[in-house]
Amino acid sequence: MNDMRKNRFRTIQCLLAAVSLWMGANGFAALPSQDLSSASLRVVRMRCEHQDRPIGIDHPAPRLSWTLESAVRGQKQTAYRILAADSEDALQADRGTLWDSGKVVSARNIDNEYAGKRLISGQRVHWKVMVWDRDGHATDWSTPSNWEMGLLQDSDWKGQWICDGRPLPEQEADFYQDDPAPLFRRGFNLTGSVQRARLYISGLGYYQVALNGKTVGDHCLDPLWTRPDKRVFYDTHDVTSQLAEGDNCLGVTLGNGWYNPLPLRMWGRVNLREHLPIGRPRFIAQLNIEYADGSHTSVISDTSWKWAPGRMA
């Protein structure tokens, strides 16, 4: 370093020292030192099966994901630990009564499969996660989240597939006659305060469901189409707020959908009725109700339901 550069360097040092002394003399406190590694890394957006606090999860090993936030360039996750518990109190006490993954060395924060105790139908699971940053510092625990299982076994379904019982037309021309959507109704009485209520429902054809006169859910054309001889999807709805002590009423409207299509000739020759499972529209439903005192009851689809043809527009 030549003499000119040395002089400039010393001048800068002197100026910095002078500024430091002046700030101290005028009452400026030194900024506290900060750990910009783990303190700036946060776990947010907890997701189970890519949903926020979902219900009706029917995979035995749900996939868990989270998002990382940091103000530090190049910050990253190097390990994680997941706790899953059967109660909020246990999770708050850092007890993984269902699963404690331990420290897992991995940068993966998407689709980490649950690997704890076997879960049962309708079970609610509370979970949280902490991660380690690039410097090996652990973050705080994330804000707790939860998910709820659906009906995992065929034996969990107590309801029956029901329809209006009318036969399919024998002549193709009769398929084009008026055939209003059948309406189904089931009244029931609740004897206490409801803690939790879940409606599990599916249809062959499309369905729309209402509880006490109000539409359940915000979907149209449910369920998603499948070949019903191979697989049928069902929906789970939280209807706790739509129930009331005393008399209640559950109603279902059925549409044909792909389960009962018209005998149209696609491309002039293909009749879908000859290539798809077909029949009168039908549905299966099960309303599981948990009272505040811990007792349970269910309303299921069976032969006790009343039905009537809908009105033509």
Over range 276-296, report the average pLDDT. Answer: 96
Query: By the 8 A CB rule, do 188 and 199 touch?
Result: no
Does residue 8 register a pLDDT over 80? Answer: no
Does residue 28 register a pLDDT over 50? Answer: no
Does residue 36 register a pLDDT over 60? Answer: no
**Residue pLDDT, tens place only, 51-107:** 999 999 999 999 999 999 999 999 999 999 999 999 999 999 999 999 999 999 999
Does residue 33 register a pLDDT over 50? Answer: no
Q: pLDDT class for 10, splitting at 50, 70, 90?
A: low
- Give the per-residue pLDDT at 243: 97
- Give the per-residue pLDDT at 301: 98
d(CA 49, CA 57): 8
Poorest-pLDDT segment among 34-48, 178-192, 206-220, 294-308: 34-48
- The domains of the chain are located at 38-148, 157-309
Q: Which of 203, 191, 193, 302 is nearest to 240 (CA)?
A: 193
Question: Which letter does DSSP use for residue 22 in this model?
Answer: H
- Give the per-residue pLDDT at 251: 97
Residue 73, helix vs strand vs coil: coil
Amino acid found at 248: N
- Give the per-residue pLDDT at 13: 58
Average pLDDT, the chain: 89
β partners of residue 148: 124
Does residue 21 register a pLDDT over 90? Answer: no
- Give the per-residue pLDDT at 12: 56
**How many CA atoms, within 13 angstroms, populate the side-chain half-sphere of residue 173?**
0
Does residue 27 register a pLDDT over 60? Answer: no
- Give the per-residue pLDDT at 268: 86
**Residue pLDDT, tens place only, 92-125:** 999 999 999 999 999 999 999 999 999 999 999 9
Q: Which of 55, 284, 293 is nearest to 186 (CA)?
A: 284
**How many CA atoms, within 13 angstroms, populate the side-chain half-sphere of residue 97?**
13
Over range 4-9, report the average pLDDT. Answer: 51
Q: pLDDT class for 40, splitting at 50, 70, 90?
A: confident
- Which CATH number is associated with domain 157-309? 2.60.120.260
Q: DSSP letters along 146-179, please?
A: EEEB---SGGG-----EE--PPPPSSGGGGGS--
d(CA 185, CA 240): 19
d(CA 119, CA 123): 7
Does residue 162 register a pLDDT over 60? Answer: yes
Does residue 211 register a pLDDT over 90? Answer: yes
- Give the per-residue pLDDT at 219: 86
Query: By the 8 A CB rule, do 225 and 134 touch?
Result: no
Q: Length of the chain in residues, anyone?
A: 313
* pTM to 2 decimal places: 0.83
Q: Give the CATH number of domain 38-148; options: 3.40.30.10, 2.60.40.10, 3.90.1300.10, 3.30.1490.20.
A: 2.60.40.10
